[in-house]
């Protein structure tokens, strides 16, 4: 009972927050809180199989899949007000009211039998007891729920479907587009030039140099250029001279570096 009175308010607050938060990622996280709290209640009620299924399947697999999809794909706030199917909000509201009325009628007609306790229900094992009840007394509800889940999955596919406005480009189309860009603006046909290699520097912020020694802007990302984090040629020259001095290599136009210790002298 203690766990119930602690977790029940948490579940109610999290479930209420799902309805009022504005971001889909926050709603998914709150739903995960509800699922984890429900799993803890299963564990307290000595139902280890339901506890494991709730954590592994629902919270660990399905819920995290939803969360990763939302974080990777992204859902804009304006997407929630766009109806991909005309009249879907009104239809959903009507079916929601009908479902609520059906649940109220069904709950009002429930007659509870004698409570036998968990020891008698789990006498042959927790998993065996669940299977016996699920596939005997509640087989019809189980099959209806399966059909409902399949229908929901197909509905999600229909709602998430987007018609392609332009035909998909083939490899030949992309090659022809590159040739047109080369003819119009002189864009390179191949990949962009690689970043320059200066001694110990081979980074994306190091520009390649043209034969005249000037940096090649197309060899670095435009984002780095806009941020002003591209390395300049004088800085690279100073680094090269520092490395040469540390290795004892003479710089350009200088003679050999004299030995400084007796061991280095011939």
Domain extents for the chain? 1-76, 190-247
Q: What does the pLDDT average to over 31-41? A: 90
CB 230 within 8 A of CB 205: yes
* The pLDDT value given to residue 75: 59
Q: How far is the CA of 175 from the CAs of 169, 170, 261, in angstroms?
A: 10, 9, 62
Burial (Cβ within 10 Å: 0-12, 13-18, ≥19) of residue 27: buried
Confidence of residue 262 (pLDDT cuts 50, 70, 90): very low
11: left (phi over 0), alpha (psi -120 to 50) or beta: alpha
Number of Cβ within 10 Å of residue 79's Cβ equals 10
With 50 as the cut, is the pLDDT of residue 264 above it? no
pLDDT digits (tens, 9 = 90+) for 158-217: 877 777 777 888 888 888 888 888 888 877 777 666 655 443 455 677 777 666 666 777
Residue 39 CB partners (closer than 8 Å, separation 6+) = 50, 51, 54, 55, 59
- Please compute Rg for the chain using Cα positions: 34
pTM for this predicted structure: 0.47
Q: What is the CATH number of domain 1-76?
A: 1.20.120.1200
24: left (phi over 0), alpha (psi -120 to 50) or beta: alpha
With 60 as the cut, is the pLDDT of residue 88 above it? yes
Element (H, E) at 50: helix 48-53
Residue 218 CB partners (closer than 8 Å, separation 6+) = 188, 192, 193
DSSP state of 244: H
Single out the residue of 65, 231, 258 nearest to residue 156, CA to CA. Answer: 65
């Amino acid at each position: 009972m203690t766990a119930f009175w602690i977790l029940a308010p948490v579940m109610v607050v999290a479930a209420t927050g799902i309805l009022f938060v504005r971001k889909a990622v926050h709603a998914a996280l709150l739903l995960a809180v509800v699922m984890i709290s429900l799993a803890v209640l299963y564990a307290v009620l000595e139902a280890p199989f339901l506890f494991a299924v709730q954590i592994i399947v629902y919270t660990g697999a399905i819920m995290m899949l939803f969360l990763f999809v939302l974080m990777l794909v992204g859902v804009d706030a304006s997407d929630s007000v766009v109806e991909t199917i005309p009249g879907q909000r009104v239809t959903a509201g009507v079916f929601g009211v009908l479902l609520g009325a059906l649940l109220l009628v069904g709950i009002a007609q429930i007659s509870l039998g004698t409570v036998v306790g968990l020891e008698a229900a789990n006498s042959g094992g927790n998993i065996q007891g669940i299977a016996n009840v699920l596939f005997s007394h509640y087989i019809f509800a189980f099959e209806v729920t399966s059909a409902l889940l399949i229908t929901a999955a197909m509905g999600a596919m229909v709602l998430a479907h987007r018609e392609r406005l332009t035909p998909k480009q083939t490899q030949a189309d992309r090659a022809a587009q590159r040739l047109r860009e080369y003819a119009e603006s002189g864009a390179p046909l191949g990949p962009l030039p690689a970043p320059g290699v200066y001694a110990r520097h081979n980074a994306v912020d190091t520009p390649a140099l043209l034969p005249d020694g000037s940096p090649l802007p197309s060899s670095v990302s435009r984002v780095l250029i806009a941020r002003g984090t591209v390395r300049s040629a004088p800085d690279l020259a100073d680094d090269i001279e520092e490395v040469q001095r540390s290795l004892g290599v003479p710089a350009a136009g200088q003679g050999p570096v004299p030995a400084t210790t007796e061991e280095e002298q011939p």
